[in-house]
Amino acid sequence: MGKNVYFLSDAHLGSLAIEHGRTQERRLVRFLDSIKEKASAIYLLGDMFDFWNEYKYVVPKGYTRFLGKLSELTDRGIEVHFFTGNHDIWTYGYLEKECGLIVHRKPITTEIYGKIFFLAHGDGLGDPDNKFKLLRKIFHNRTCQKFFNSIHPRWGMALGLNWAKHSRLKRMDGREVPYLGEDKEFLVTFTKNYLKSHDNIDYFIYGHRHIELRLMLSRKAQMLILGDWIWQFTYAVFDGENMFMEQYVEGETNP
């Protein structure tokens, strides 16, 4: 087992709006395979699935290569952390029990090789959109979750997959809004504010926005937004000393 710690997010596997789903999943799996000797931990920072919803005895179809690879990594003793995003909130123990993942439902602050990390998917942080806030409350509500799972998966899964598809397609060409700039980007304003009362943090790392960003916030603090695993295949890697932002290019030697 190696020493590197990897960060990636937003594969949105299984999306009905992504045509190259199988090649996308294979690429992700080949990446995970390529780091198995080098990694001590992997942080999946949310929205790895476009819609994940577990039932008591049933889990969604698909993703067998991905889940198989994650299980192989955790079997080898690599820590794999899974943050729920805003598309895959609804996991109730399967990913922990079957795949050995460590599931996080909220942002965490953790120490890695002596540095302090604030890690989050990024939804709900600084975003003033009231419609999104309300939806987020409903999605996280235990009673609503129980009610949703009383609907037959034939309809529940169809509803979820189509909701996720439309939340992608309502944006022109199905891609993300480009970087809005330091003053307008919610995650940046949130982080700057948070830093005022938590100046011990060295690295803030987020997903959610599907843009690649690296910003120095003070002499020691910086924030990263990880891009995605739909088009960009980007990740961050911390070797204990330095942080690198990389793109996974098949056939090349990646750190």
Pairing of strands 234-238, 243-247: antiparallel
237-246: long-range contacts, CB 8 A cutoff, minimum separation 24 = 237/4, 237/5, 237/6, 237/7, 238/4, 238/5, 238/7, 238/112, 238/113, 238/115, 238/203, 239/3, 239/4, 240/3, 240/113, 241/113, 243/203, 245/212, 245/214
Cβ closer to Mn ion: 11 or 99? Answer: 11
Site string for Mn ion, 151-190 (x = CB under 5 A): ----------------------------------------
Beta carbon of residue 3, minimum distance to Mn ion (angstroms, whole number)? 29
Cβ closer to Mn ion: 69 or 168? Answer: 168
Burial (CB count within 10 angstroms: exposed 0-12, middle 13-18, buried 19+), residue 179: middle
Partnered with residue 49 across adjacent β-strands are 13
Cβ closer to Mn ion: 39 or 208? Answer: 208
Instruction: Please choose, out of 35-43, 67-75, 86-94, 105-113, the segment that lies near Mn ion by the rule CB under 5 A.
Output: 86-94
Which 27-56 positions form the footprint of Mn ion (CB under 5 A)? 47
Instruction: Please choose, out of 82-90, 93-101, 131-139, 163-171, the segment that lies near Mn ion by the rule CB under 5 A.
Output: 82-90
Partnered with residue 103 across adjacent β-strands are 82
Beta carbon of residue 10, minimum distance to Mn ion (angstroms, whole number)? 6
How many separate helices (H) and strands (E) can be counted in the chain? 7, 11
Q: Which of 85, 124, 160, 227 binds Mn ion (CB under 5 A)?
A: 85
Cβ closer to Mn ion: 126 or 151? Answer: 126
Q: How far apart are CA 22 and CA 236, in angstroms?
A: 23
Task: Give the residue carrying structure tokens 């990646």.
Answer: 254
Beta carbon of residue 122, minimum distance to Mn ion (angstroms, whole number)? 7
Query: What backbone phi and psi angles, to 5 degrees, belong to 172?
Result: -55, 135
Instruction: Please choose, out of 18-26, 67-75, 130-138, 203-211, the segment that lies near Mn ion by the rule CB under 5 A.
Output: 203-211
Q: Which of 50, 63, 208, 236 binds Mn ion (CB under 5 A)?
A: 208
Pick the closest to residue 121 from 212, 203, 10, 12 (CA basis). Answer: 10
Instruction: Please choose, out of 57-65, 84-92, 93-101, 136-144, the segment that lies near Mn ion by the rule CB under 5 A.
Output: 84-92
Q: Which of 86, 91, 191, 234 binds Mn ion (CB under 5 A)?
A: 86
Pick the closest to residue 56 from 101, 13, 91 (CA basis). Answer: 91
Cβ closer to Mn ion: 104 or 208? Answer: 208
Amino acid type, 133: K
Are 245 and 205 within 8 A, CB to CB?
no
Beta carbon of residue 9, minimum distance to Mn ion (angstroms, whole number)? 8
Binding of Mn ion by 88 (CB under 5 A): no
Binding interface with Mn ion (CB under 5 A): 47, 85-86, 208
